[in-house]
């Protein structure tokens, strides 16, 4: 699985499987990256908001693998919506990570988290932020630029005036919550979709119907969920600091039948993500 890649619209290759680091603190992040790289991961996903870029950077340097063999993503904090603030944050991220360049830089959300999916859409401000991203791309500070949590009209807003098209939209996409229309729209516009929380923070693990299908293939529910997203043409970035989970998440050498894919697309939507419902994408607002 580790050698499999997609090609972004600018020709940059991105591994289909990455390690997510949300909720992994700075101290743990270094070790998690070292473990993941030793297992075979080459794609690490972090964000300014995760407060662990320093730890991720330490892990990269301690991994023993050449920088150019790794694909590192970070995200501009959702609250930063001016050209100046975004530009400064990119330099801050490079300094914290200790890197000369970032492989993929993403705007974390179209709105600040406290206003997520509310009335103010920040269309004008996102264009400002995007211009800063384009300039960082032109100077080589970042190799690819993209979006996260952007709905179709948020993406269209960027497409309407950008000089460089977004290459990625990272969204919540998993069995029992797959925004197929948005995925189709992005793919039609040459924007690769990345799926964060592809195992629904574990909320899907007890789902009886999904378990039956996983058993049929002799795999875990987590593995089935990851394979499902990959077969939709998505990058998956499951989050874990557990080396055993890292290994299992990479064992995806099976193919889900078309009939089972249809069943999985239509699994009833999860209404409650349990302890993770505080996250704005799930819970509406930061609590």
Element (H, E) at 89: helix 83-97
φ, ψ dihedrals at 30, nearest 5°: -60, -50
Q: Tokens 């939709």 — which residue?
A: 232
> Which one of 6, 41, 50, 101 is the catalytic residue?
50
16 CB burial (10 A radius; 0-12, 13-18, 19+) = buried
Q: Tokens 């050698």 — which residue?
A: 3
Active site residue 50: yes
Say if CB 74 and CB 44 are below 8 A apart: no
Q: Is 98 left (phi over 0), alpha (psi -120 to 50) or beta?
A: left
Q: In this structure, are strands 13-15 and 5-7 parallel, antiparallel, or unpaired?
A: antiparallel
**Residue 88: strand, helix, or coil:** helix
Say if CB 63 and CB 92 are below 8 A apart: no
Instruction: For residue 194, give Cα distances in angstroms to 78, 246, 284.
Output: 18, 18, 21
Between CA 21 and CA 5 the distance in angstroms is 20
Q: Tokens 């407060």 — which residue?
A: 51
**Residue 238: strand, helix, or coil:** coil
DSSP string, 175-223: TTB--HHHHHHHHHTT-EEEEESTTGGGTTTT-HHHHHHHHHHT--HHH
Which residues does the annotation mark as catalytic? 50
């Amino acid at each position: 699985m580790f050698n499999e890649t997609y090609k972004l619209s600018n020709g940059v290759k991105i591994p289909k499987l990455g390690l997510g680091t949300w909720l992994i603190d700075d101290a743990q992040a270094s070790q998690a990256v070292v473990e993941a790289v030793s297992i075979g991961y080459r794609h690490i996903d972090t964000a300014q908001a995760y407060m662990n870029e320093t730890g991720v950077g330490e892990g990269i340097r301690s991994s023993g693998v050449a920088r150019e063999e790794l694909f590192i993503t970070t995200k501009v904090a959702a609250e930063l919506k001016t050209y100046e603030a975004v530009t400064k944050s990119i330099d801050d991220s490079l300094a914290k990570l200790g890197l000369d360049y970032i492989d993929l830089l993403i705007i974390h959300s179209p709105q600040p988290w406290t206003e997520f999916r509310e009335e103010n859409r920040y269309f004008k401000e996102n264009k400002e932020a995007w211009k800063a991203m384009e300039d960082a791309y032109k100077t080589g500070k970042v190799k690819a630029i993209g979006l996260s949590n952007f709905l179709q009209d948020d993406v269209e807003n960027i497409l309407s005036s950008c000089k460089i098209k977004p290459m990625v939209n990272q969204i919540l996409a998993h069995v029992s919550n797959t925004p197929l229309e948005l995925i189709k729209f992005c793919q039609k516009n040459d924007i690769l979709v990345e799926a964060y929380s592809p195992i629904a923070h574990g909320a899907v693990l007890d789902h009886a119907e999904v378990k039956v299908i996983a058993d049929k293939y002799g795999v875990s529910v987590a593995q089935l969920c990851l394979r499902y997203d990959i077969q939709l043409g998505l990058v998956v970035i499951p989050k874990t600091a557990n080396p055993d989970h890292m290994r299992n998440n990479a064992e995806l050498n099976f193919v889900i039948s078309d009939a089972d894919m249809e069943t999985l697309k239509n699994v009833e939507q999860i209404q409650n993500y349990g302890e993770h419902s505080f996250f704005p994408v799930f819970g509406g607002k930061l609590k």
